[in-house]
């Protein structure tokens, strides 16, 4: 199965620089329309950029800046008076406001680093800034020629609103397509999985961003520029809520990392086993097309897959549960899932752990459709690490390669699809990486 190749980040950045630079030069040479209005929008875009921060789902880190820029792209009459700023002025105002905001962020981080005497934090948001300029210009290209030609004058209120909504929706979809390409290049996800992530995220802060842009363009047309800062407040509150979600997710990840080490500290598993299994599981998940949310849940389950060993009177030799009978593996998995269930992690995590030792096929030979893919992935990753550790501790001449050993039980204990993915990773010399950045 082939996937679409991502849009290279350098290409998008280069396109944004050329578009923004060319638009600014053109506007300066031809004189801008209503410069005070343009300055007001540029200032709000800069403030929105400064107020930006990390948001879940690899989404736009400065939604207020994008909402204001989108409002300018969709702006028709202002307080009942016609405007004529056009596509290039929209691109120029967006570029100037974004550049000013990024410069202010950079200066602020430099000053903070000097006060704390620490290395300056890297400036993020460049990918999102490039996407903003391209997608807002695209929205202006769809709307401004219609408005400038007078075609929108013949539309009644609902039809005019529907036109704005359609243009904003197309721009949001275009942004998701570009963001998926950037996420694919950054994380190694399949493009289809990255696009699915971005479309899901579009239902969250993305929808609030688009709705705010629409609202601002309509309210500015009726009430004037004073409506812009007032009606940005709800989006700022939504941004704060999403930022809080990032902090909660980071705390959850740190808690799970700590809990996963309990079996190592107690001597039930070898040092680093849980982390190695999680990293291998994440690499397999990417290879099999899982999205970022599914990969995060997979990592949580893989880190805690051996918690059930704490119920054993005597540790398993070397912590190698893969070498135990199936019934004992299933008992340990069920006990572990009950412990994990009480930690407050998402339901899918303890369900994946509960089923990770179940056979892939039913008694009649049919594939078990209820067995989660994550459970099948973790079982292969765990067994592979157990066998590699055992082989390193007790090398034997003529012993099977761990992957070949797993293939002996392919189709029942171990999913052949997951084993094939493991083989592909091995042939490429792939090094497993974490599903999420280290906290």
Tell me: the pLDDT tens digits for 166-184?
999 999 999 999 988 888 8
In whole angstroms, give the CA distance from residue 217 to residue 167. 12
Do residues 280 and 384 touch, judged by C-beta distance below 8 A? yes
Residues 205-264: pLDDT tens digits? 778 888 888 888 888 877 777 777 777 777 777 777 767 777 777 777 888 888 888 888
- Give dist(CA 321, CA 336) in Å, integer: 13
286 contacts: CB under 8 Å, gap ≥ 6: 187, 188, 189, 190, 193, 295
Task: Give residue for tokens 């990390």.
Answer: 54
Torsion of CA 424, 430, 435, 438, to 10 degrees: 170
pLDDT digits (tens, 9 = 90+) for 356-377: 888 888 777 788 888 999 999 9
Q: Is pLDDT of 121 > 70?
A: no
pLDDT band at 117 (very low <50, low <70, confident <90, very high): low
Cα separation, 63 vs 61, whole angstroms:
6
* Confidence band of 120 (pLDDT split at 50, 70, 90): low
* Average pLDDT of the residues in 109-129: 69
Residues 69 and 60: beta-carbon distance below 8 Å: no
- pLDDT tens sequence across 58-72: 555 678 889 899 999
Please state, in angstroms and rounded to a whole number, the distance separating the CA atoms of residues 262 and 258: 7
**Residue 17, Cβ neighbours under 10 Å: how many?**
13
Q: Which two tokens stand for residue 269?
A: 């598993």
pLDDT mean over 316-338: 85
CA atoms of 280 and 314, how far apart (whole Å): 27
Question: What distance in Å separates the CA atoms of residue 256 and residue 329, rounded to the nearest whole number?
Answer: 22
Q: How many C-beta atoms lie closer than 10 Å to residue 107's C-beta?
A: 10
- Give the CA angle between residues 97, 100, 104 to the nearest 5°: 140
At residue 78, the 3 state secondary structure works out as strand
Check: CB of residue 243 under 8 Å from CB of residue 64: no
Q: Which residues pair with 410 in a beta bridge?
A: 414
**Is the CB of residue 130 less than 8 Å from the CB of residue 16?**
yes
């Amino acid at each position: 199965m082939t996937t679409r190749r991502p849009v290279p980040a350098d290409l998008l950045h280069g396109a944004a620089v050329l578009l923004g630079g060319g638009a600014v030069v053109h506007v300066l040479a031809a004189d801008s329309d209503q410069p005070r209005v343009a300055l007001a929008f540029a200032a709000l875009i800069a403030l929105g950029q400064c107020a930006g921060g990390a948001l879940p789902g690899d989404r736009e880190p400065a939604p207020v800046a994008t909402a204001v820029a989108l409002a300018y792209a969709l702006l028709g009459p202002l307080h009942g008076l016609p405007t004529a700023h056009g596509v290039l002025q929209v691109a120029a105002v967006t570029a100037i406001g974004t550049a000013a905001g990024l410069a202010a962020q950079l200066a602020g981080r430099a000053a903070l680093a000097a006060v704390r005497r620490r290395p300056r934090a890297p400036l993020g948001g460049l990918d999102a800034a490039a996407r903003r300029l391209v997608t807002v210009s695209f929205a202006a290209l769809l709307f401004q020629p219609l408005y400038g030609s007078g075609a929108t004058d013949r539309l009644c209120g609902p039809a005019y609103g529907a036109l704005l909504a359609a243009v904003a929706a197309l721009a949001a979809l275009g942004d998701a397509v570009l963001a998926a390409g950037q996420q694919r290049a950054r994380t190694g996800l399949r493009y289809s999985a990255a696009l699915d992530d971005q479309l899901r995220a579009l239902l969250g802060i993305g929808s609030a961003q688009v709705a705010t842009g629409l609202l601002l363009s309509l309210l500015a047309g009726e009430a004037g520029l004073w409506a812009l800062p007032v009606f940005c407040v709800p989006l700022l509150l939504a941004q704060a809520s999403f930022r809080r979600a990032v902090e909660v997710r980071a705390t959850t990840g740190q808690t799970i990392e700590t809990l996963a080490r309990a079996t190592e500290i107690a001597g039930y598993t070898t040092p680093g086993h849980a982390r190695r299994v999680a990293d291998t599981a994440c690499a397999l998940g990417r290879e099999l097309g899982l999205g970022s949310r599914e990969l995060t849940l997979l990592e949580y389950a893989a880190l805690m897959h051996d918690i059930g060993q704490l119920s054993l009177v005597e540790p398993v030799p070397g912590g190698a549960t893969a070498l135990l009978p199936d019934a004992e593996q299933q008992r340990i998995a069920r006990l572990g899932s009950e412990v994990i269930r009480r930690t407050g992690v998402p339901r899918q995590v303890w369900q994946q752990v509960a089923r990770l030792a179940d056979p892939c096929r039913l008694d009649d030979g049919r594939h078990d459709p209820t067995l989660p893919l994550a459970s099948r992935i973790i079982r292969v990753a765990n067994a592979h690490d157990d066998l590699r550790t055992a082989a390193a501790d007790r090398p034997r001449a003529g012993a099977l390669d761990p992957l070949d050993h797993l293939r002996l039980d392919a189709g029942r204990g171990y999913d052949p699809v997951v084993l094939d993915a493991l083989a592909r990773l091995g042939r490429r010399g792939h090094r497993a990486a974490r599903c999420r950045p280290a906290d």
